[in-house]
Amino acid sequence: MRKRATLACGMAMVALLAGACDTDAKPPKIDPTGSVNNPVALTFLAYGPKEEVAGMQSMVDTFNEENKTVKVTLEAATDSEDVLTAITGDDPPDVYLLSQRDIAQVAADAKNQPLDELLDSRGVDFSDLYKRDAIQAFSFDNHLQCMPYGVSPMVIYYNTDLIDFDAMAAEDLDVPEIPDGLEHASEWTLDQFAAAATWASTTQGVKGVYIEPSLEGLAPFIYSGGGKLFDDSVKPTTLALSSDESQDALTRTLDVLRTDQLSPSQADVEKQPALEMFKEGKLAMIAGYRNLVPSLRNTEGLNFDVMPMPTLDTETSVGDVSGLCMGVDPVSESAAADLIAHAVSADSVAEVAKAGYLVPANNEVAEGEAFLQPTQQPANAEVFNASIRDIVMPPLLESMQELEAAVEPSIKRLFYAPVLDLETLTQRIDELSAPVVAELVIRDEEKVTPSPTP
């Protein structure tokens, strides 16, 4: 059995959050009292595809109908960056959807307030109904800063017409095994991944696989091979691609991804985006998140399924966790907490999950038909749930995008340079990263200190 890399935070921490008590808490704020004729006005800022936002609007409409003394207005942000701009502006929202990648900056700037006591008093069950990894992702200073809403691991999408595991097995090729009692494979090795890419690429005009040439794209392979992306998981000073362990993981990975027969060239991708190649049947596999599902379902003639990220030594992935946060000074703290408790309820999350974009942090919904949608593609949707426990979260930086931009040209050379000097190039990447990481790392440890994991 293969080793599994996991970020489970442990029952002790979840219990701490579920029953947290802050003896230094400030006196409760006196909230305004609304009436049917003059309700308390709250703003809720969210982002996502229009179909997903429409589900959130339905949730808000239900809340307003059930709470006549409160009027919530949903505002749609363009993306997560738009949310950051809004909550640091002159008129921040009372409640907002936030990517975990931005929580470090938000908490350091004191643009939110903890939710554990407010939601615990409203009967929200942290210990059983929510994924522990998602709870940990938003936990600092022994408090839950935002309530986990969605958690999406990176997986491999594959074209089931181009990759036929049964046909491969009939030719004695190495294919992933289906465990007893299951209908689908739950893991595969890098060799099996390469064999699938090779099989697909024998079809005229088809490439086997595309992995984005970025830190995010390489991270699951580096972690799985025993390497590390940063020199320290809490207080990083530099990337660590030049470490011996990372070098070994990259060597094995790039032996597959740099094969011309298997992967599209840089010129190919510049001419046509990899996702469009996948949709048109010119590419057999692509890494991505759950938000690809609706678009792929709407692509006529495309048959697809999902597999976890391939395993080098341990099962790992990367991902994004979204959470619902309360502004530091909402119009009504109690009404804002009521809204968040309503939004994370099973019925509310199920309504949003039906659109196909969201992997719910709520276990009850994630394991039900509203998310798994067994009559639709992908058939192996349980892969999303199973891969959540394999997510390795990066250190808390103010902006991963800035770091990605600083090393992007060198990362692309890992994939596309005609001759690869891995040791020299990874040393250069680490050197380029050091001053950027120094600028982006959160230094105010009193404001942003991850909750301990027993």
Q: Convert the pLDDT of each residue in 2-60 to its tens digit.
A: 444 444 333 334 444 444 444 455 555 677 778 888 999 999 999 999 999 999 999 99
Considering the domain architecture, whether residues 305 and 419 belong to the same structural domain is answered as yes
Q: How confident is the model at residue 136 (pLDDT cuts 50, 70, 90)?
A: confident
**Distance linking the first and last C-alpha atoms of the chain:** 25
- pLDDT at position 74 over 90: yes
Q: What is the pLDDT of residues 212-268, one digit of tens each?
A: 999 999 999 999 999 999 999 989 999 999 999 999 999 999 999 999 999 999 999
Considering the domain architecture, whether residues 227 and 125 belong to the same structural domain is answered as no
Considering the domain architecture, whether residues 143 and 188 belong to the same structural domain is answered as no
- Looking at 347, 365, 388, the residue that finishes a domain is 388
**Averaged pLDDT for residues 399-419:** 95
Strands 40-47 and 70-77: parallel
The structural domain count of the chain equals: 2
**Averaged pLDDT for residues 159-182:** 93
Looking at residue 229, what is its pLDDT?
97
Looking at residue 11, what is its pLDDT?
36
Question: Exposed, middle or buried, 227 (CB in 10 Å: 0-12/13-18/19+)?
Answer: buried
**Report for 12-26, 324-338, 393-407: range of highest mean pLDDT:** 324-338
Residue 354 covered by a domain: yes
Domain harbouring 415, CATH code: 3.40.190.10
Considering the domain architecture, whether residues 147 and 191 belong to the same structural domain is answered as no
* CA atoms of 153 and 387, how far apart (whole Å): 6
- pLDDT at position 274 over 90: yes
- Looking at 348, 373, 388, the residue that finishes a domain is 388
Residue 451 covered by a domain: no
Looking at residue 392, what is its pLDDT?
94
Q: Do the Cβ atoms of 44 and 77 come closer than 8 Å? A: no
- Looking at 346, 361, 388, the residue that finishes a domain is 388
Looking at residue 20, what is its pLDDT?
45
Considering the domain architecture, whether residues 101 and 201 belong to the same structural domain is answered as no
Domain that holds residue 382: 3-20+31-152+319-388
* CA atoms of 319 and 391, how far apart (whole Å): 6
**Averaged pLDDT for residues 116-132:** 86
Q: Which two tokens stand for residue 451?
A: 């909750």
- CB atoms < 10 A from the CB of 22, how many? 12
**Averaged pLDDT for residues 134-157:** 90
- pLDDT at position 388 over 50: yes
Residue 452 covered by a domain: no
Residue 25 covered by a domain: no
Q: What is the pLDDT of residues 413-424, one digit of tens each?
A: 999 999 999 999
Looking at residue 30, what is its pLDDT?
72
**Averaged pLDDT for residues 127-136:** 81
* CA atoms of 430 and 106, how far apart (whole Å): 27
Q: Which two tokens stand for residue 113?
A: 């307030």
Considering the domain architecture, whether residues 284 and 428 belong to the same structural domain is answered as yes
% of residues, the chain, pLDDT over 90: 76
Residue 26 covered by a domain: no
Q: What is the pLDDT of residues 156-170, one digit of tens each?
A: 999 999 999 999 999
Cα–Cα nearest to 289, from 117, 454, 113, 52: 52
Residue 132 covered by a domain: yes
Residue 40 covered by a domain: yes
Whether the bond between 378 and the residue before it is cis, its omega within 30 degrees of 0, is yes
**Helix (H, G, I), strand (E, B), or coil: what is residue 416?**
helix
Considering the domain architecture, whether residues 261 and 364 belong to the same structural domain is answered as no
Considering the domain architecture, whether residues 190 and 234 belong to the same structural domain is answered as yes
**Averaged pLDDT for residues 284-312:** 97
Considering the domain architecture, whether residues 285 and 426 belong to the same structural domain is answered as yes
Considering the domain architecture, whether residues 415 and 287 belong to the same structural domain is answered as yes
Looking at residue 12, what is its pLDDT?
38
* CA atoms of 182 and 379, how far apart (whole Å): 12
Considering the domain architecture, whether residues 113 and 12 belong to the same structural domain is answered as yes
Looking at residue 108, what is its pLDDT?
77
* CA atoms of 306 and 385, how far apart (whole Å): 12
Q: Which two tokens stand for residue 291?
A: 């938000």
**Is the pLDDT higher at 304 or at 445?**
304
Looking at residue 107, what is its pLDDT?
81
Residue 446 covered by a domain: no
Considering the domain architecture, whether residues 261 and 116 belong to the same structural domain is answered as no
CA angle 365–368–373, rounded 5-degree value: 115
Looking at residue 63, what is its pLDDT?
97
Looking at residue 7, what is its pLDDT?
40
Q: Kindly list the distances between the CA atom of residue 116 and the CA atoms of 59, 76, 129, 141, 151, in Å, as whole numbers in the listed order.
A: 22, 26, 14, 12, 19
Q: Name the average pLDDT for the chain.
A: 89
